[in-house]
Amino acid sequence: MDTASVWFPIAALVGAGLIVSVALFLRMLVKHRVPATSPEEREELAHLPMTPLQKRAWWGLLIGLAMTLAIVIVIGRASAAVYFEDDDLRLVVLGLLGLTLLSFLFVVVPAGLAAGSRRLDERDQRVLSSAPHFQAAACLVTVTFWAIALTETFRGEGIPTDYMYLVSWSTFLAYMVAHSAGILFGYWFARDHA
């Protein structure tokens, strides 16, 4: 039996399952978003100030994305093999990763302290409880991307170990940046108005 004939139905089912999952997720997001019902309510919602958690999430997201872009540029200008061999280049990337971690902690630590002192309202608590779902999704997408890209790029040759650092760090970056993005999406899709 040909292996291609065995794997094609499996790949088709996985692809169809992914498409159905994304469609159901988007349907759920649209369905559960409560639109403003009157022009006065829309005007009022447009002028609501951001919560402190939202402001911190924006800063965390912008810094995290900037550091991620800087890492991609630094490693992209060299290569995975050069990155793996060059200690100075690895230190630069680790410094950028450290800045990303600090931006993540800038969002997480105050939110944790506020939750411990009960200074967060119900909406903030709901948003914080949904942020880990975005983190999990971002990590899964990152690992899946690397698995497919590396397998297809090095088919029949074996994947060089130089890429293992990149897989690890990119998953770590996705985890940190997705937390701020999850908070912002949580506010955007919030059912409850302030």
Domain boundaries, the chain: 1-32, 51-188
Q: Name the 3-class secondary structure at 27.
A: helix
Span 20-29, pLDDT tens digits: 877 777 777 6
Span 122-145, pLDDT tens digits: 777 788 888 888 899 999 999 998
**Quick check: 149 pLDDT over 80?**
yes
Q: What contacts 122, CB < 8 A, 6 or more positions away?
A: 192
User: How far is residue 179's CA from residue 186's CA, in Å, rounded to a whole number?
Assistant: 10
- Whether residue 187 contacts residue 55, with contact meaning beta carbons closer than 8 Å, is answered with no
- Whether residue 100 contacts residue 64, with contact meaning beta carbons closer than 8 Å, is answered with yes
Instruction: State the sign of the Cα–Cα–Cα–Cα dihedral 76, 77, 81, 85.
Output: negative
User: How far is residue 166's CA from residue 27's CA, in Å, rounded to a whole number?
Assistant: 34
User: How far is residue 1's CA from residue 6's CA, in Å, rounded to a whole number?
Assistant: 8
Span 167-191, pLDDT tens digits: 988 999 999 889 988 888 888 776 5
Q: Name the 3-class secondary structure at 96.
A: helix
Instruction: State the sign of the Cα–Cα–Cα–Cα dihedral 166, 168, 173, 179.
Output: positive
